[in-house]
Structure 1
């Protein structure tokens, strides 16, 4: 039987994306970001969150989407990937939905400008709404994780 899961819904541009709740540590308003030299362009730097230094990535930039202006809706979603905390900057995060594993279909080659390797699938929410589920292990591939680990305090 397929498992039920809770998913945090966030927006990048006009598309809605989802990350499983158990991977999300916290969702924060924008924090002061300290730039780090010689990193990928989508790595915005690090934040100090309650004494923990966490690398922060502009998720839209990671997917080569046009960079959005930060607003009062902009959020940093702190997730755990491969035993490491990473912050993803997103346009907004304001919803939690219940999904069943059966609701998630294999993604087409490109969805909303994002390559399929970064995606776990596309979930249908009702008749109108599609939710793009991220594959966090691909969003941060191994070499990127190694370079981000060297940034952690």
Structure 2
């Protein structure tokens, strides 16, 4: 049985996970609006592109002490049945296949389980959010239950950053304008971090078996069966002549598609998934990378190179002929 891929994140140092299929995007923490009424774990609401979305504090839901929001926190935009919610967490760790088979239905406590490795997997978000106030969730041994205090000076600066972000996230829904944000998935390859727009990513999985194909370019390591479809697997290091620096563990496959062409690219591991303003990306300085300019969109956060997935997918030499639709 195929195990789902999970988005891993942390709450007060506790590793947690949620099925990737339930998640729409991850955004930086914003200033929250107060709300009327009382919801279990309710922390307020946010304006997401003109839509009012309830925000839940995962600390509160897990029985931990709450604290004020920090700019380093994240909001995981997720979809339990019939609604859109935001889950407040410390940060995102990456995407991995579930280490265990998830229960087919709700159990006790509702919607979540603690693995032997100390990871809390929220496998049924609807049941988890609808649990009674008395629901007790298991925590890893020795877990502290106090939030991190921040100084009044830091709190003022944090509040200003969160207010600016709230205006930026809400602005996209005003007047019907198109959102100025792009969702990005970042990954590590040969000691360098890269990013790709998630609109071109179908899924991420752990590589198991790849069949070599004779007579293809060196950058195509072979073909693999993914959910009944045969796709080619591409090594970007060979394609772009990237020096093989440091230790690598190319066991993650990021499946790219534009609706016509589909193939996988190898990565050491996934580092993050989040949104940021689309333009402008910082231009790539000459000599920074051997990758040709036509495959680049720019740089974010000073060092993360954003690849142009559309250009890579459009390259006729990238895919073995029989894998084209």
TM-score with structure 1 setting the length: 0.82
Determine which of 190, 204, 210 is the counterpart of 1:13. 190
My pick for the range that moved more, 26-35 or 114-123, is 114-123
Determine which of 133, 136, 139 is the counterpart of 2:312. 139
Is 1:37 aligned to residue 214 of structure 2? yes
Q: Which residue of 1 aligns with 2:241?
A: 64
Note the C-alpha offset of 1:103: 4.7
Residue deviations 1:55-102 (CA, integer Å, cap 9, x gap):
11011111112357763x731000104611110011211311221113
Give distance in 2, aligned partners of 1:130 and 1:42. 24
Q: Which has more strand, going by share of residues?
A: 1
Unaligned runs of 5+ in 1: none
3-state secondary structure, aligned to 1:102: coil
Residue deviations 1:8-50 (CA, integer Å, cap 9, x gap):
0011112111011111001111120011111110101110011
Unaligned runs of 5+ in 2: 1-176
Conserved 8 A contact 1:3-1:101: yes
Give distance in 2, aligned partners of 1:78 and 1:35. 18
Higher relative contact order structure (alpha carbons within 8 Å, sequence separation ≥ 6): 1
Count residues in correspondence. Answer: 147
Give distance in 2, aligned partners of 1:144 and 1:132. 22
Give distance in 1, aligned partners of 2:193 and 2:265. 14
Q: Which residue of 2 aligns with 1:120?
A: 297
My pick for the range that moved more, 133-142 or 18-27, is 133-142
C-alpha RMSD of the superposition? 2.5
Is 1:130 aligned to residue 130 of structure 2? no
Larger radius of gyration: 2
